[in-house]
């Protein structure tokens, strides 16, 4: 384990490896910042954002789709500003914000919302695809762990508050064709799943809030080995780097006592560790018609 970026985020989230820029992007949700670092050149960026943002997908070299507390918009990386609003997202509800999200293999984007105080059942998960924004699931407290099987057969998501991860079968256009089914009940072993990513072999890597770790989960839901980090609140993993063998993980300092931060001063930094199984390039989001 090594520190990939020492800049401290109050609530680091939304790790995304950009395959064309060969750089990691992530958010400080509470700090309203988009950060990035290229490991090859050491180049870093820190963009101030006008509202809370939590997740992104790459569109091309210079544009990201970014999920903010009120909608889904195109962001220009060179100009450092938003260009275009694609869809409003619970913009009429000031009590919610976005949380975890990820592009799907069809060029769509899944995004979760939650209550600002993590009120039970206040959140939902949506999909934007071909200009069509639909609510997929509701009655979720803290939506996390959104990721997809390499063959596109299913999607995963978690409700951190319940300690549950679900699996949902998808049709040929990436829409759910069945209700979500329980995949892993982390609460039975005292874990709380946060962000997740799938690797090339179909296994998952799931960040564990409060455990300072990312845990391996097999395609059939068997819990495996853990990789630990010097921050108790690990939030979102991403695969990238050379041959996609580097596991990056964001973390958070939010809610930790001064004594706990003194014990773990890297809380809020981004970490990196090598994997033995490669990840996969994240699919690009396609803003046009399906």
Q: Could you give the number of structural domains in the chain?
A: 1
Residues annotated within a binding site for a divalent metal cation: 13, 144, 194
Residues serving a catalytic function are 194
Rounded CA gap, 83 and 186, in Å? Answer: 40
Answer whether residue 91 shows pLDDT above 90: no
**Start-end of H helices in 30-117:** none
50 domain-assigned: yes
Query: What is the reported pLDDT for 288?
Result: 75
72 domain-assigned: yes
Query: What is the reported pLDDT for 92?
Result: 87
Instruction: For residue 223, list its beta bridge partners.
Output: 217
289 domain-assigned: no
287 domain-assigned: no
**pTM (2 decimals)?**
0.96
Rounded CA gap, 270 and 281, in Å? Answer: 19
Express each pLDDT in 181-238 by its tens digit: 999 999 999 999 999 999 999 999 999 999 999 999 999 999 999 999 999 999 999 9
280 domain-assigned: no
285 domain-assigned: no
Give the list of residues 6+ apart from residue 214 with CB closer than 8 angstroms, or none: 205, 206, 207, 208, 226, 227, 229, 234, 237, 247, 249
Residue 153: give its domain's CATH number: 2.120.10.30
Of the pLDDT bands very low, low, confident and very high (cuts 50, 70, 90), residue 1 is low
Mean pLDDT value across residues 37-49: 96
The whole domain housing 250 covers 2-274
244 domain-assigned: yes
Residues annotated within a binding site for substrate: 97, 99, 117
Among candidates 132, 131, 140, which has minimal Cα distance to 158? 140
Residues annotated within a binding site: 13, 97, 99, 117, 144, 194
137 domain-assigned: yes
């Amino acid at each position: 384990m090594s520190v990939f970026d020492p800049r401290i985020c109050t609530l680091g989230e939304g790790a995304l490896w950009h395959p064309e820029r060969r750089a990691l992007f992530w958010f400080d949700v509470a700090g309203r910042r988009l950060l990035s670092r290229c490991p090859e050149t050491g180049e870093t960026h820190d963009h101030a954002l006008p509202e809370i943002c939590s997740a992104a997908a790459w569109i091309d070299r210079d544009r990201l789709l970014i999920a903010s507390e009120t909608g889904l918009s195109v962001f220009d990386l060179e100009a450092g500003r938003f260009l275009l609003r694609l869809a409003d997202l619970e913009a009429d509800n000031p009590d919610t914000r976005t949380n975890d999200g990820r592009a799907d293999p069809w060029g769509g984007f899944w995004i979760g919302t939650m209550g600002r105080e993590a009120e039970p059942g206040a959140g939902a998960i949506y999909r934007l695809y071909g200009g069509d924004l639909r609510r997929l699931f509701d009655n979720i407290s803290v939506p996390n762990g959104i990721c997809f099987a390499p063959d596109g057969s299913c999607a995963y998501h978690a409700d951190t508050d319940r300690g549950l991860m679900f699996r949902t079968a998808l049709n040929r256009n990436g829409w759910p064709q069945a209700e979500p089914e329980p995949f892993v009940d982390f609460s039975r072993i005292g874990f709380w799943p946060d962000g997740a990513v799938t690797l090339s072999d179909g296994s998952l890597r799931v960040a564990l809030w409060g455990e300072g770790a990312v845990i391996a989960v097999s395609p059939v839901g068997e819990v495996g080995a853990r990789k630990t980090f010097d921050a108790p609140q690990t939030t979102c993993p991403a695969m990238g780097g050379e041959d996609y063998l580097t596991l990056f993980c964001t973390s958070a300092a939010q809610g930790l006592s001064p004594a706990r931060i003194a014990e773990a001063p890297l809380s809020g930094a981004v970490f990196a560790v090598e994997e033995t199984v490669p990840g996969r390039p994240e699919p690009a989001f396609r803003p046009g018609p399906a």
